Structures are given as C-alpha cells and as structure tokens.
A and B are shown apart, each in its own frame.
Chain A
Amino acid sequence: MPDAPSSPRHPAPPAQAPAAAAAFYARVDAALADKALHRALSLTTGRLAGGLTSAFAALPDGEALRDAARRIRAHTIAHLDRYLVQFSEQAERRGCQLHWADTAADASRIVVEIAQANGISLAVKSKSMLSEEIELNAAFESAGIRVVETDLGEFVVQVGGDKPSHIIMPIVHRSREYVAALFRDKLGASNTDVADVPAMTAFARRVLRQEFVRAGMGVSGVNLAVADTGSLCLVSNEGNGRLTTTLPRVHVALVGLERIVPTAADLGVVLQLLARSATGQAMPVYTSILTGPRRARVDNGVTGEPDGPDQLHVVIVDNGRSRLLGSDLAEILYCVRCGACLNICPVYRHIGGHAYGGVYPGPVGSVVTPGLMGLDQWSELPHASTLCGACRDVCPVRIDLPHLLLKLRERGVAEDRAPFWLQIGMRVFSAVATRPRLYAWLGRVAALLGAAASRDGWLTRLPGPLSGWTTSRDFPVPAKRSFTDLWREKTAKGRRTL
C-alpha cells in the first residue's frame, strides 16, 4: 500500500481525478435513465440470484464446501510462488510452451508474436475477461490479424461495436430486437434467420462454424490451472470453449497468475461451487481440463490422439496482480470470477456493468480495478457500494468484499482523494462532537432552525454541501428536545428510567 502523505494540510486531489469522477457519475446517470437496461437487469440478475439460492438449497454441505473452497484458494495464494513454479514445470513437461507477461502490453505482444510466427491470419476467441483486460483484440487488429469472438453474447458485442456489461452475461443490456436488427444489418441475415431467439442462435452457429473451420489459432482464458499436473480448466455452456481449444492447430491460453489450485481434487471442490454460484447450474455444460497439446503419433507407429491443437501456449499474466498481492487487498485474489456478487448487488442491479467503467464490474470490480490500476482514475468505485454485505454472503470463497471496499476508501482518504468539503466537514464534526456543551447548544440551534424551515415535519432542502442528501430524499426535522435534555430533566426529578 502506498504510504500516506505525512501532513495532509491542504488536500489537492490528483489532476485526473475530477474528470474521472465526473465521467463515472455521467455513466451512472446515463445507466439510471436507461429504461431498457433496467428491464434487462431486473430480469437477469433476479433470475441468476434466485437460481443460485435454489442450487445451494439442493446441495447438502454447501456451507462446508464454501469453507473448503476458501481454504484451498487462501492456501494457494499464500504459497503462490511455489505453485506457479510447479504449474509451469508440469505444463512444460507435457509439451506446453510457457510465456510470462509483466504487463497488459507484454501479454498482447506475446500473443500477437505467436500468431505471426505461425502465419495466422484468423484467430477465434472464447470468452475471456483477461483478454479484455489486456486489450488483445486491438493488438490483433493493429497487427492485421482478424479475431472473432465466439461466445454468442461476446459475438453480438463484437459485431455491434459494443462493450460487455456482465462477467457471464455480456449482453444483459440488449434486447432480442437489437440482436435481430444487428444480424440483418451487419451479417445479411434474412427475416427467417432472426424470426425468434432459436433461429438467431442457429444463424450465429452457422456463421461461427465457418470461422472455426478456417481459424489457425484459438485464444481462451482459463478458469483455474492445476499445479501438480500443469492442467488448464475452462468452463462454458455453449461449447465454443471446446471448439476454440480443439479445432485450430495453435491454442493460446491466458492465465491470470493467481488462478491456480494445487491438485485435481482441489479443482473438483471449487468446480462444485463455480456454476452453482454463476448461473445456478449444478455443473456447466462443458468443463474442459486440458493437459498439454494433443499427444500425437510417435515414431514407432503407435497411434496418437486424432485431434486437438499441435501447440499449446500458456501466457501467465501479472499486470498488477503481484502488487495487489503485496497489499491489504490480497484477499480479492481468491476470487474465481463467478459473478454472483454482481447479481446480488443492489448497486449493480440499478446501474449495470458499463457504469463501473472498468473491465470487471460489480463489487469484485470495485476492488480489482483500483487494485490493479491504482485509484487515480478509479477513486469513485469503492464508494459505488452500500456496504450491505450481500456480496460477502453470496461469495463461494467468502471474500469479505465490504471490508476490502472500506480499505480502499481509507486509502483514498490517506492519499488525499476525499473531496475538500468532506475533509473540512469531518474536522468540524469531530471538533463539535468532542465538546459536549457546544454539541448540546448546536443541537438546540439546529432544532429551532429545523422547525422553522420544515414542511410537514421534513426538511426538503439542506444548505451547502449537505444539499446532496436532499436532492434525492427528505431529511427528518431534528426533535424539539434533544436526548441529552430529556435525560437531564428525568434524572433531575430523581427518576432513573425514562
């Protein structure tokens, strides 16, 4: 954690902060005004959160499984250096080619260089948040390599030049009419092709099959890697993850350096929770555990595996994770990216994913984004939470998200990022609250002023910086007589109870 300035006298927020904060509030206002977004959000997040509840109700020992999953993730992160070494050695022993990337730019460059070395002109991609984080598509495009998203939602996002708004449901903010119009305008679909959702899905399958058949490279993320076998685990419901990692001759897997479990048995425990937390399914439709490239024919004539990629490249990405590890936010590295904290979060349910601005939205994103990239551009995110604790209760590895958000708020104050009026205001409040006579006197003044300014027992407009409270709700009028006055009166009469 960066050191706090020694004497915060006249706080001057960083130059970028006001613009970044204004942009954040502009995104929030736009999201709050978007009626279609609200309809989509209430439908999807409600159903996903409900599915999670019933999936766990049907799972005896669900709480014990959560405890076990948390212990596995905590232990792995506490010994991350050892498990990273073991994973990379075991993966190499099985024929994987390992690459290590310090930064997002390094990671993108490595992937593009692998493509160029193999003469690739078309790459297919299965959904990967990490590829968004490293802005891989832009790197491919500037190298003249075409890249096609193959997850249906991500494909719609790519064709429409949009951005995903949910970790596992990228187009919760879009309607079927939008998708139909997009397929007609951009891909030449007929009216029959977009008659209903199954028809649109079948159309996308046909279009994407042609890309899969031609692509020389498949790029995927990794949900979890297994240290003792060098395996990569990827889950998907559509099957695009399997096609991406099977049909093209080169497979490149992007792994965030924290996404490791020690053994296959540990993987089993975490997978028991992942889909239940993400979508309420007992298991995803497809869980692939990939160990090295295909085991091809050997020279003595013994037959090998008939399909699978001939090369498997694993890119281990740091991009701020080791710095996050060395901080009081390290617990966020336990995260397995199920998205449950988004669906349950009252703030996410009102503003959706785009408003957060970063790659990772919701409560987890409000910790990960500033954690990886610093608070300069992201100082508002830790405040985009009511701290209600629903995210902590639903997390399959029990990450204390409200606690981490408070840590970030604390860091913001220590780095002089709090608004000027708030710093002054808190200083005035502490001066008043530590002087009982002044406090009591000001209380009586406030009661008098409040009574004079009130309308039907409510204050509809507060002055100065306090007006923020009353722009969206009324403030109750202070009681005519304070608790301290009442207490003194009662005790003076010799009655100790009220």
Chain B
Amino acid sequence: MTPRERILAAVRDGLLRAELPGASDDRPAYRGLAWNPDGGSLVERFTRALTALTGHVDEAVHPAAIADAIVRIAMLYHATSYLSWDEQELGCLDLVGLLGSRGLRRVTYDLPADPTTRDEAVRALEPVPLGLTGATAALADCGALVLVSGPGRGRLASLLPPVHVALLNPNVLYPSLAALLDARPDLVDQGSSMVIVAGPSRTADIEMTLTHGVHGPKHVHVILTA
C-alpha cells in the first residue's frame, strides 16, 4: 500500500464512525446572501476602503495623464526605475516609452530556472524602487486589487519594491471577494498565482503597534483609468 492509499483508506474508515453535525450530502447552496456591505457606488466604496488602509487613489484617463500621475508618484519616492507588467497587460500602450522619456527606466526580467543565475537575477531586482501593474479585478468592500499572474504579468512588480502603483479600470470592480469568486471562479486557474492585495503590507506583531511595509510594499497607489 502506498502512503496515499493508506491515508485514503484511513479517511474512509474514519468516515464510517465520524460524528459530523450539520453535514449534507449535496454541496451547500448559499446564493442570495447580501454581498454589498454598505451604500455608495463601487468606486466610492473601493476608494473609501483603500484610503482607510493608507492606500492612495488617483484618477487619470489618457496615456499622457497616466504617465504624469506615475511620474508624480515616482518623484515622491525618488524612484528612477521600475518593475512592470507588459504594456498590453497594463491596458495602456506606449506607457513604457512615455515614462522612459520622463526619466523612468523599466527593468525587465525572466527568472531563469538555473539556481545560480536565478539568485543573481533576484539580487539585481531587489533594489528596484517601484512596481507598476494593472489589475485583473478589484474588490469594493475591502479596497483590494486582484492580480492574476501570466505571461507579461509577473508577481514581483507588486511584491518586491517598496512602492506599488496599479492601474485599475473601474469596470472590473466587484462588491467583495465572495462575489468575485462566485461570478468568475475561472480566474483562479488562469495563472499560477492569483493574489488579492488589500493595501500596504502590515504587521502588528510587536505590542500590537501597526507598522507598514514589513515585507511587501509600504505604499500602494491606485490610478483609476476610466
């Protein structure tokens, strides 16, 4: 017997005697729950929730205005280079060129599988001061961005630098995570990583003192693009 067979046999044996109050044979249904915790439009609620988490929300529609907004944020943190999703994934063509002409250089990468060269590649990316991503979806109740990885949509742009800037098309806002996963369960399997990011990295481990930027970005800026 393999460990797999042995464990599954033990589980089946246990199920013969298990006392499981509330268990049903059919998968439980729960549609019709209220997903909308409070009033206001999705954009208003998203903005309120993210601002409460110390995130920042700007608006910019045209590529030039978007580039302006990004440059303003970069200047706040003295950033001259950035990690980024590909232009077509950001939903804003020519952005890399526009930012380049304003002195912001994009750092591209594709981590190699070989251990030694991979370590070197990561080491080179670690000091980059700003990350730029789009957003696959966003959640109004908690001010969160939903980022699904894929070709041209790396995980590190929203993780490694101390500043994360995300371009968000308000059309992809959902009331809550439960509402999103109910409507779009397929998103989970579109990349190896789907991450829901609610504001800046935080910890309260030491004496419950809230501190931002412990491992992930300390600053999160969202630019609404429509």
Contacts and interface: CB of A to CB of B under 8 A. Distances in A.
Q: How large is the interface on A (under 10, 10 to 19, 20 to 34, 35 or more residues)?
A: 35 or more
* Majority secondary structure of chain B interface residues (helix, strand, loop or mixed): loop
A249 B112 CA distance: 9
A285 B202 contact: yes
A223 B192 CA distance: 17
Nearest to A242: B159
A77 B20 contact: yes
A265 interface: yes
Nearest to B6: A102
B110 to A, nearest CB: 5
Interface string A391-421: 0000000101000000000000000000000
A268 B8 contact: no
B13 A326 contact: yes
Contact of B23 (A65, A75, A202): A75
Contacts of A302: 151
A325 B2 contact: no
Contact of B152 (A119, A179, A303, A327): A303
Contact of A74 (B14, B22, B217): B22
Interface residues of B, number: 91
A65 B154 contact: no
Contacts, number: 317
B206 A176 contact: yes
A454 interface: no
B66 to A, nearest CB: 23
A308 B10 contact: no
Interface string B184-226: 0100110111111111111111111101011111000000000
Given A171-B205, A213-B123, A80 B15 contact: yes
B125 to A, nearest CB: 9
Contact of B21 (A171, A204, A229, A331): A331
B214 to A, nearest CB: 4
Given A238-B216, A331-B20, A285 B198 contact: yes
Given A80-B15, A328-B19, 9 more contacts: A44-B208, A58-B38, A75-B26, A151-B205, A205-B213, A226-B188, A267-B181, A269-B178, A305-B154
Interface of B: 2-4, 6-8, 10-28, 30, 33-34, 36-38, 49, 53, 109-111, 113, 115, 118-119, 122-123, 126, 139, 141-142, 144, 149-156, 159, 176-182, 185, 188-189, 191-209, 211, 213-217
Top 4 A-B pairs ranked by shortest CB distance? Answer: A239-B216, A326-B14, A268-B181, A325-B14
